Amino acid sequence: MSTTAAPAPGASRGDLARLERHWGETPSVRSWLTTVDHKRIGRRYLVTAGLFFALAGLSALAMRTQLARPEAGMLSPEEYNQLFTMHGTTMIFLFATPMLFGFGNVLVPLMIGSRDMAFPKLNALGYWVFLFSGLFMWASLPFGAAPNNGWFAYVPLSDEQHNPGLHMDVYSLGLLFLGVATTAGSINFIVTALKLRAPGMSLNRVPLFVWAIVATGFMVIFALPALNVDNAMLFLDRRFGTHFFDPEAGGNVLLWQHLFWIFGHPDVYIIVMPALGIVSAVLPAFTRRGVVGYPLVVLAIVSISIISFGVWVHHMFATGLPQLSYSFFSAASTIITIPSGIQIFAWLATMMLGRLVLRVPLLFVIGFIVTFVLGGLTGAMFALTAFDQQVTDSYFVVAHFHYVLIGGAVFPMLAGIYFWLPKITGRMYHEGLGRWAFWLVFVGMHVTFFPMHLYGLFGMPRRVYTYRSEAGWDGWNLVSTVGSYVLALGLLLVLVGVVHAIRRGRPAPPDPWGGDTLDWSTDSPPKPYNFPVLPRVRSLHPNWDGPSRESMATGAEPDRVLADGRRTLRTSELDGRRERAVEMPEPSFQPLVLALAMLTFFTALLLAWYPVAAGAAATVAVTLAVWLWPPRRPDTEVGVSA
């Protein structure tokens, strides 16, 4: 894969050969199945999440086709209901988060000047679990047993009595399974960013993207358990007759909603936060200066991640809770817009002070600002309970969340794809093709979703598989459908652009944009060990400052080369002082085996083969025990006295 060999004056030829021996992987099935390289894993995350995006996007096209005309008969209600559920669930859980985790995986070690993630094997496990849980959920669709209860699966409609069959078992088990990957990935990001930063990268020199990923990681750690508990209780209610959500027997249906949204609201920031991080990473290269107000932006990131845990009830404004509680959650939801405002104006200021280089990534960032602000503004409207009660569960809400999800997450991802394509593949993309893609996506997006504000206000509820023409919604629905095809065409062009770049693109130099972070100081694509010499960071924009760059050139201390082994540097949490070199794990089959055992476990649970499930659980335990078994060393080395 390596195309250009950047001069690595800091490391001798011998060092490079040794690094290659310890880190290099020859292409083979075995290495494909066992790799722990964060770049390969990250790439897989990106491609797999892209595939799920295509699946969920095609489901959306089917839905839009059905809704183009009133009383259309293309889809039966059962089909439509499975499609919109799979669309929402996949977009949120199998596309948005994993896609951003893919970016994080590729970029975090590169941006902080490390050779891999803190737990590379765990990282590999995370990918396999993500892949398998996604397949687990989608495999149900051909059997007509896909989840069919909306992405938030409200009880009692999702319980056994009202929704028999496997549909919601697939949902609850699939999300529990996926949760393993998301949790593992988050812990990995946090620890990597805390412990593996290049020496000299104190907290105030950490790139904004890394801040965003770490904040995301923390949100996952404290939000996901609520979803897991919820789904575990749902599965127990459905399968084993417990009564958590059964009002007849002391349960409560609103418990589901509280737990779901205690997860669900932070989750929307889990999605948007890293995407905003991408924006902060793209802007400096195309404005020729750092993002304005670094400390303010960091503060905004941190405060969003905290406040996001205090607003969940705004998804329950129509359930008839006490007004006092509504007024509190309404206030919190209003306040949470402020950190977003700070970020938006920091980016605007950056653009107003820098010099704009209008390449495709910047186009998508501009598209992001336009779209996300509109979506954010409708969000701020919902924060007012009285208004929300009128538009909740109508297409107005559908408009809001596609504006923030597509504007706030997909546009930055597309910016990121064009931006880092040279780094990841070593090839440049075709600018003209990229511009066409941008305009189609941008126009298609607004033509699709803007009218939803209108017919939402005109009274069209969401999640209806059809509507009657008397209601007067037909014209705008047709507009939406046309828009969605334009949007799909634009996305197809993105795909064409990516394939074209990989096949035909010009070889990319290490730093095609003049980026400011360390990822641009490595080869395109980077060597398996990322940095021949681990940098010593001296500023927030290491690739722009001489001393940081020179630290990788002649005169580098041998302890930043670390060529005699598979090793990288561990530094202190706050100010990035070097602590010691750490040993990194070799490629291994264990992650794959463990993920397969888990897949067996969840499949067996789903199909009620409980003995098989027990066997699979035992396999999981044994694999973990072997994985973590301490290597045997001479007593003198481990240090025993008695």
Partner 1 sequence: MAMLGGVLALTGCAGGAPSALDPAGTGAGRVADLWWVLFWISMAVFAEVMVLLVWALVFRRRRDARVRHGQPLRFVAIAGAGIPLVILVTVYALGLRDLVALGDGPGPEATTIEVTGHRWWWEVRVPGVAGATANELHIPVGEKVRIRLRTADVLHSFWVPQLMPKTDLIAGEVRETWLQTDRAGTYRGQCAEYCGTQHAHMAFLVVAEPRREFDAWLSQLGSPAARPQTDAQRRGQEAFEQGSCAGCHTIRGTGADGRIGPDLSDVGSRWSIGAGAVSNDGGHLGGWIANSQTVKPGNFMPPQPVDAQRLPDLIAYLQSLT
Partner 2 sequence: MSGSMTAATGTEALTTEMPVGRSTGWWGMVMFVATEATLFACLLGSYFYLRFQYGPTWPPPGITEPTLLRPLVMTAVLLPSSLPVIWAEHGIRRGERWRLRAGLATTLVLGATFLALQASEYTEKLREFTMTTNAYGSLFYVITGFHGLHVLIGLTMISWLLAASLRGGSFGSHRHDRVRNVAIYWHFVDVVWAAILFTIYLSPRL
Say whether residue 471 binds partner 1 (CB under 8 A).
Answer: yes
Q: Which of 39, 43, 64, 265 binds Cu ion (CB under 5 A)?
A: 265
Given the rule CB under 8 A, which of 74-82, 411-419, 478-486, 521-529 is the region that contacts partner 1? Answer: 74-82
Say whether residue 76 binds partner 1 (CB under 8 A).
Answer: yes
Place of tokens 């007509």: 144
Instruction: State which residue, 24 or 70, has the beta carbon closest to ligand HEA.
Output: 70
CA–CA separation, 27 and 29 (whole Å): 7
Name the token pair of 175: 């999300």
Min dist. Cβ of residue 268 to Cu ion (A)? 6
Exposure letters 120-152 (e unless 16+ CB within 10 A, then b):
bbbbbbbbbbbbbbbebbbebbeeebbbbbbbb
Instruction: State which residue, 21 or 463, has the beta carbon closest to partner 1.
Output: 463
Phi, psi of 13 (to 5 degrees): -55, -40
* Identity of residue 256: W
Min dist. Cβ of residue 319 to Cu ion (A)? 14
CA–CA separation, 431 and 433 (whole Å): 6
Min dist. Cβ of residue 452 to ligand HEA (A)? 7
Q: Which of 105, 172, 183, 350 binds partner 2 (CB under 8 A)?
A: 183
Instruction: State which residue, 149 or 305, has the beta carbon closest to partner 1.
Output: 149
Say whether residue 77 binds partner 1 (CB under 8 A).
Answer: yes
* Identity of residue 562: L
309, interface contact from partner 1, partner 2, Cu ion, none, CB < 5-8 Å by kind: none
487, interface contact from Cu ion, ligand HEA, partner 2, none, CB < 5-8 Å by kind: ligand HEA
Chain centre to alpha carbon of residue 315: 22
SS3 state of residue 178:
helix
Long-range contacts of 219-222 (CB under 8 A, 24+ apart): 219/266, 219/267, 219/269, 219/270, 219/273, 219/305, 219/308, 220/182, 220/183, 220/185, 220/186, 220/270, 221/183, 221/186, 221/187, 221/190, 222/266, 222/309
With CB under 6 A as the rule, give the number of residues binding ligand HEA.
62
Min dist. Cβ of residue 94 to ligand HEA (A)? 10
Say whether residue 258 binds Cu ion (CB under 5 A).
Answer: no
Given the rule CB under 8 A, which of 5-13, 236-244, 273-281, 322-330 is the region that contacts partner 2? Answer: 236-244
CA–CA separation, 320 and 338 (whole Å): 28
Min dist. Cβ of residue 607 to partner 1 (A)? 24
String of contacts with partner 2 for each residue 549-588, x by CB under 8 A: --------xxx-------x--x-xx---xxxxxx------
| Helix or strand (DSSP H, E) at 174 | helix 167-195
Mapping DSSP onto H, E and C, the string for 443-488 reads HHHHHHHHHHHHHHHCCCECCCCCCCHHHCCHHHHHHHHHHHHHHH
Q: Is the peptide bond before 525 cis (omega within 30 degrees of 0)?
A: yes
Min dist. Cβ of residue 340 to partner 1 (A)? 8
Instruction: State which residue, 78 or 557, has the beta carbon closest to partner 2.
Output: 557
Q: Which of 15, 79, 388, 519 binds ligand HEA (CB under 6 A)?
A: 388
Q: Are 550 and 535 in contact (CB under 8 A)?
A: no
Instruction: State which residue, 265 or 453, has the beta carbon closest to Cu ion.
Output: 265
Per the document, the length of the chain is 642
Min dist. Cβ of residue 315 to Cu ion (A)? 5
- Under rule CB under 6 A, which residues in 98-157 are in contact with ligand HEA? 150-151
492, interface contact from Cu ion, partner 1, ligand HEA, none, CB < 5-8 Å by kind: ligand HEA
CA–CA separation, 378 and 611 (whole Å): 51
Say whether residue 3 binds partner 1 (CB under 8 A).
Answer: no
Say whether residue 160 binds partner 2 (CB under 8 A).
Answer: no
Sign of the torsion angle spanned by Cα atoms 108, 114, 116, 119: negative
Say whether residue 503 binds partner 2 (CB under 8 A).
Answer: no
Say whether residue 43 binds ligand HEA (CB under 6 A).
Answer: no
CA–CA separation, 184 and 190 (whole Å): 10
DSSP code of residue 430: P
String of contacts with ligand HEA for each residue 516-555, x by CB under 6 A: ----------------------------------------
For the chain, give the longest Cα–Cα distance: 87
Name the token pair of 485: 């095809």
Say whether residue 628 binds partner 2 (CB under 8 A).
Answer: yes
Best CA proximity match to 561, nearest among 17, 38, 4:
17
Instruction: State which residue, 198 or 285, has the beta carbon closest to partner 1.
Output: 285
Instruction: State which residue, 127 or 473, has the beta carbon closest to partner 1.
Output: 473
Residues that bind partner 2 (CB under 8 A): 118-119, 122, 183, 186-188, 190-191, 194-196, 221-222, 224-226, 228-230, 232-233, 236-237, 240-244, 246, 249-252, 254-255, 258-259, 262, 557-559, 567, 570, 572-573, 577-582, 621, 625, 628-630, 632-635, 637-642
